[in-house]
């Protein structure tokens, strides 16, 4: 009984290692019509997001989503609702952009890798002092 279990475990481990798709040929800056529309939507929202990035209310989560990093700084319920709507819209567009990039490259199999690459890009674009989430889930100021 141990041999089949060991074999199954070995296959699962090896397939998870092999599962990471090579995305070196995927253009993360795709300018297909869908990506352009999504990027435009995201650009329209940037100035409103910055108002909450600056004081550290929101930040970039380690999965690439925008998230509330300091709920105690939100204050009014109305402010919380505004922030939550901005975050929902931004995260929806981020997922749509990742899907559009994958579709444009005909690489729907590589969505997790594209998301990881975009997360790295978004982290690099965060300004010093803005909140980012480390791999352990802790919120820290970007140096």
Q: Is the pLDDT of residue 100 over 50?
A: yes
Q: Is the pLDDT of residue 95 over 80?
A: yes
The answer to whether residues 83 and 57 touch, using CB atoms and an 8 Å cutoff, is yes
In this structure, how many other beta carbons lie within 10 angstroms of the beta carbon of residue 89? Answer: 17
Q: What is the pLDDT of residue 26?
A: 82
DSSP tag of 127: P
What number is the average pLDDT over the span 11-18? 41
Of 106 and 66, the structure prediction assigns the larger pLDDT to 66
pLDDT tens, 37-67?
Answer: 999 999 999 999 999 999 999 999 999 999 9
Confidence (pTM): 0.82
């Amino acid at each position: 009984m141990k041999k089949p279990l060991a074999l199954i475990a070995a296959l699962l481990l090896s397939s998870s290692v092999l599962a990471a798709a090579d995305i070196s040929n995927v253009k993360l800056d795709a300018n297909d019509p869908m990506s352009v529309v999504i990027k435009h939507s995201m650009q329209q929202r940037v100035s409103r997001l910055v108002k909450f990035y600056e004081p550290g209310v929101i930040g970039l989560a380690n999965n690439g989503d925008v998230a509330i990093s300091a709920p105690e700084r939100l204050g009014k319920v109305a402010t919380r609702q505004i922030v939550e709507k901005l975050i929902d819209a931004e995260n929806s567009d981020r997922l749509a952009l990742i899907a559009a990039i994958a579709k444009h490259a005909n690489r729907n199999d590589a969505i997790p890798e594209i998301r990881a690459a975009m997360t790295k890009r978004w982290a690099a674009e965060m300004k010093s002092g803005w909140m980012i989430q480390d791999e352990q889930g802790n919120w820290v100021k970007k140096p």
